[in-house]
Structure 1
Amino acid sequence: MVLAEELKNYTKSAHAALEGRMIPAIKSIRTGGDYTRLLRLFYGYYAALETKIAPQVCDKLPDFEARRKAQSILSDMAAIDGGSVAATTLCNTLPDITSYPQALGAMYVLEGSTLGGQIISNMIRQRLQEAGGALSFFEGYGEQTAAMWQRFKLLLEDDFSETEKAALLYAANDTFVSFQKWIAAHDAR
């Protein structure tokens, strides 16, 4: 799993910048409305990115539909306050994803977020009792989260050319950067 480690090192700074923006937004949640605003931010990014990823992976990744998370966000919004996405803006400054390696790079960020989501769900639950039934997005795959992450990392063991590997690394980093910019531009606090 050499590429997984390389991805972790290559994206370390961008990952930290996103966390630095995200943690204060999560800690500022006090009401269902605060939580819904945060979910709208995630939906705006995830729905757009998943749509862009899909054509590049649908024939190579049989469980892609199970890995999509935008629907979980919609379910959580409905559970917390009947939230509607009618006025939710979708991100239009996404990483370049025109190949399978680029799609895997972006998915590295989305799939990795399911690990941190376990911690975030606990943070939100402590701040907002009513969120208990509205945490499916942050709870990821529940008890299967670690197994799903391991299965995803196996995809990174493919025999990528140096050009494909560079595209994968860059797309992962750019996904962290563009998500951080999206959060900064639409700060939930």
Structure 2
Amino acid sequence: MLMSRLKQATQRQHQEVEALMPVMQPSLSREAYARLLRQLHAVVGPLEAGLLTLPLPAPFEIDLRLKEPLLLRDLAALPDTPPVRPASPHLAGVPEALGALYVLEGATLGGQVITRHLRRRLGLTPESGSAYFHGYGPATGRMWQAFGEALDGQVALDDEARVIGGAQKTFQAFGDALCGVPA
């Protein structure tokens, strides 16, 4: 199953990126949170723009999975911070794009815990600054399952290495953006 191979192949990078995210720290301020969202937007915005240029199969429902509008809504509700230079990976085709989408969709799972923390720590709700992490809300599990089914049903065995490579490049881009490494 491709989903489990993706998880195994990216586990170390996932943990490294997660460790760079200050969002669960008790000292998190609105300013630090806004900076984090800018860093995430530096990857998500260009990455999703690239995804929209590719002929992704319909079962991936890309129009329902876009996170940039949520990030922009959150940023509008928070203190203004300087933009961060775009740091998105180059996606050579649909298999790499599906690997990138795996990373973006996987982030929605942890976002449910983060949303509760943001409400307690900063008083933020999905309507006032935590929409990105709230993602699909109660539909998150169903959306993740549908994504996994689409991935397993649409990716040929010959393309699996490219999907994994796309996921690894995407984790690297998030890590770079969170560390302030120029693209």
Bin of the TM-score, shorter chain as denominator length: 0.7 to 0.9
Alignment partners' CA distance in 1, 2:95 and 2:56: 13
Q: Show the counterpart of 1:27.
A: 25
Code of the residue aligned with 1:5 in structure 2: it is S
Separation (CA, whole Å) in 2 of partners of 1:97 and 1:151? 23
User: Aligned pair 1:183/2:165, yes or no?
Assistant: no
Runs of 4+ aligned residues of structure 1 deviating over 4 Å after TM superposition are: none
Amino acid at match of 2:71: I
SS of residue paired to 1:169: helix
1:136 aligns with 2:131: yes
Distance 1:34 1:25, change over 3 A: same
**Change in CA separation of 1:123 and 1:53 when aligned onto 2, cut-off 3 Å:** same
Q: Does the aligned pair in 2 maintain the 1:29–1:124 contact within 8 Å?
A: no
| TM-superposed deviation, 1:61 | 5.0
Give the deviation of 1:126 after TM superposition.
Answer: 2.4
Kept in 1, the 8 Å contact 2:103–2:170? The answer is yes
CA pair 181-70 structure 1, distance change in 2 beyond 3 A: same
1:39 equivalent in alignment to 2:37? yes
Q: CA distance change for structure 1 residues 62 and 49 in 2, over 3 Å: closer, same or farther? A: same
Matching of residue 77 in structure 1 with residue 75 in structure 2: yes
Which residue is equivalent to 1:6? Answer: 5
Aligned residue for 1:111, secondary structure, equals: helix
In structure 2, the partner of 1:166 is 161
The Cα of 1:66 is off from its aligned counterpart by: 1.8
Q: Work out which of the residue numbers 65, 88, 97 in structure 1 matches 2:63.
A: 65
Q: Structure 1 residues 64 and 180 mapped into 2: Cα distance closer, same or farther (>3 Å)?
A: same
Per the alignment, residue 91 of structure 1 pairs with 86
Instruction: State whether residues 48 and 90 of structure 1, in contact with CA within 8 Å, keep that contact through their aligned partners in structure 2.
Output: no
Once the two structures are TM-superposed, the CA of residue 163 in structure 1 deviates from its matched residue by: 3.6
Identity of matched residues, %: 31
Describe the shift of the 1:122–1:57 C-alpha distance in structure 2 as closer, same or farther (beyond 3 A): farther
Contact 1:29 1:35 in 2 (8 A): no
Where does structure 1 lack aligned partners over 5 or more consecutive residues?
A: none
Gaps of 5+ in 2: none
| C-alpha separation in 2, matches of 1:78 and 1:29 | 22
TM (normalized to structure 1)?
A: 0.84
Deviations 1:149-178 (A, max 9, x none): 111111211354444111001111121122
State the Cα deviation string for residues 98-135 of structure 1 (Å, max 9, x = none).
Answer: 21111110000000100011111122222212x23211
Task: Tell me how large the CA RMSD over aligned residues is.
Answer: 2.1
Q: 2:38 is matched by which residue type in structure 1?
A: R
The one-letter amino acid paired with 1:147 is: R
State the AA in 1 paired with 2:108.
Answer: T
- Seen in structure 2, the aligned counterparts of structure 1 residues 159 and 65 have a Cα distance that, compared at 3 Å, is closer
Gap change, CA 1:184 and 1:62, over 3 Å in 2: closer
Matched residue count: 179
Q: Is the 8 A contact 1:56 1:98 kept in 2?
A: no
- Measure the CA separation in 1 of the matches of 2:57 and 2:85: 25
